[in-house]
Amino acid sequence: MITCSDPTTTGKIVVMRKITVERATPGFRVVRNPRMIRLNRRTEIAEVQNEPPDFLKYTFSLTAFPDLYQHTNKTDQFLDVIGQIILVSNTARVLTSQGKLQTKRIINMQDLSGNRIDLSLWGPRALEFNGESVYEIGQKNHIIAIFVGTPMKSYRGGPPFLSRTSACLWYINNFRNLSFGVNTTL
């Protein structure tokens, strides 16, 4: 079996063998499932060479904006959201509560009902998000984005917001080969 050179690469179809299936950890679940897989030293990962063109490579469990607030400061799962990007801040260097300087960017999103939510990107994630390109495209078209892997937070009594994690990914105006589910119940 040929192993995948980088098993963390997204957008590839892989076959995994010799994995361990175990009970999911209680905090920050990427998917809503009582089980998770763990890779071990014997795990084999191979890329599928002839990928079927209609294979769904990404799947999301979208949470409606009004349902986000019940997840504030909970660590049991990450959230996936879709919305129109309304505003993108420039990056700024801010002092964190730990006394460190960090780069920060705020993205304001709106759903079809006009509900709004802020998403906060910090550190390298703030720099990776190309706000200038989003601004340029937004001058002529709506910018629809899916953000996955985001917890809902509130800091010192302030309004709740979505926050980035290292698991946070985004998809902007490109939704081929995606599968959607809408989470409206817990």
Q: Is the pLDDT of residue 4 over 50?
A: no
* pLDDT given for residue 77 in this prediction: 80
Instruction: Name residue 46's beta-bridge partners.
Output: 15
Indicate the range of 20-29, 54-63, 168-177 predicted with least confidence: 168-177
* pLDDT given for residue 186 in this prediction: 33
Helix (H) or strand (E) holding 47: strand 44-47
Enumerate the CATH 2.40.50.140 domain ranges in the chain, comma separated. Answer: 58-183
143 neighbors 134 (Cβ within 8 angstroms): yes
Greater confidence, 27 or 78?
A: 78
Q: Specify the fold of 58-183.
A: OB fold (Dihydrolipoamide Acetyltransferase, E2P) (2.40.50)
Q: Give every CB contact of residue 173 below 8 A, 6+ residues apart in sequence.
A: 137, 141, 143, 144, 145
* pLDDT given for residue 26 in this prediction: 72
Q: Is the pLDDT of residue 160 over 80?
A: yes
pLDDT digits (tens, 9 = 90+) for 126-136: 898 988 888 88
46 neighbors 2 (Cβ within 8 angstroms): yes
Determine the residue type at 118. D
**Strand, helix or coil at 70?**
helix
Q: Band the pLDDT of 30: cuts 50, 70, 90.
A: low
Report the alpha-carbon distance of residue 152 to residue 54 in Å, rounded: 33
* The two structure tokens encoding residue 124: 């390298």
87 neighbors 107 (Cβ within 8 angstroms): yes
* pLDDT given for residue 68 in this prediction: 95
pLDDT digits (tens, 9 = 90+) for 37-75: 888 899 998 888 888 888 877 778 899 999 999 999 987
